[in-house]
Structure 1
Amino acid sequence: MSTQKPVKQAVVTDRAPQPAGPYSQGIVSGDLLFTAGFGPQDRANDNAVAPDVAEQTRQVLRNIQAVLAEHGATLDDVLKTTVHLADLADFAEFNDAYREFFTEPYPVRTTVGSQLANILVEIDVVARIGA
């Protein structure tokens, strides 16, 4: 019987939006945790979505915190974020809310304009775990 760890392990929490398709909320491989792209649905409030990009950003990051916490990680463990904004004109408002959740040294980040379905922001992260 092999004692080797699986190459990838799913991370699942009921405190973040559930997958809407064939993907995992998060995957651990080695000492890295990768999250799916999360939108601003609030599980504690019947999946409500706030009307502005700042509050949507805060909820997205709370969703990501929930997935990280399932594996004992925090936003301080995040190395990289990828951000999709429905309108790049919202960047300053998004950036102010984003800054509330991270401390220096900040994760590297890519921010792109994307066509999103009825939301203003989606974020996924890569975090180092077990450090």
Structure 2
Amino acid sequence: MSNAIQVPQAPQFSLPFSHAVRAGDFVYVSGQVGVDPVIGEISGPTIEEQTRQCLRNIEIILEAVGLTLDHVIKSNAYVSRKEDFPGYNQAYSEMFNQPYPTRTTAPVDLGAYLVEIDVIAYAPEKRTRLE
């Protein structure tokens, strides 16, 4: 059984999707773009600004179900321009703690958006570093 999650504080779009779906011990968060949920506009012109905003939007959704970015075990990112990969990696590494989630990153044309990120979070406990 799964439960759809809609979060009023997250960016709102007139598209047919849930912000997230909880299925058992997992929360699947729909792709987020770098839109500031307060003003409803793209957060800035750089990949770093938009990546940070994407991940803040994901944080907002996860917080609604009592989770944090530390619960994320997998991320998928779609970056508009290959030359932005270094800036994306820099901002990504600032937002996540180690051990980093597994990840896929691919170049995709996103129009006005420079990045879109979706994640899977494991709900029962925080991930811990294996020594």
Does TM-score exceed 0.5, indicating one fold? yes
**What's the counterpart of residue 84 of structure 1?**
78
Task: Write the distance in 2 (CA, Å) between the matches of 1:119 and 1:81.
Answer: 18
Task: In structure 2, give the amino acid aligned to 1:21.
Answer: L
TM-score w.r.t. structure 2 length? Answer: 0.91
The aligned runs of 1:106-117 (5 Å cut-off) are 106-117=100-111
Aligned to 1:21, which of 9, 15, 27?
Answer: 15
Q: Using a 3 Å threshold, how does the CA distance of structure 1 residues 20 and 117 change in structure 2: closer, same or farther?
A: farther
Task: In structure 2, give the amino acid aligned to 1:124.
Answer: D
Q: Following TM superposition, where does structure 1 have runs of at least 4 consecutive aligned residues deviating by more than 3 angstroms?
A: none
TM-score w.r.t. structure 1 length? Answer: 0.91
Structure 1: tracts of 5 or more residues without a match: 1-6
Give the secondary structure class of the aligned counterpart of 1:24. Answer: coil
Larger radius of gyration: 1
Q: Which has the higher strand share?
A: 2
Quote the offset at 1:117 in angstroms: 2.4
Of all paired residues, the percent bearing the same amino acid is 39
Structure 2: tracts of 5 or more residues without a match: 126-131
Q: Using a 3 Å threshold, how does the CA distance of structure 1 residues 29 and 19 change in structure 2: closer, same or farther?
A: farther
Task: Write the distance in 2 (CA, Å) between the matches of 1:130 and 1:22.
Answer: 28
Aligned length: 124
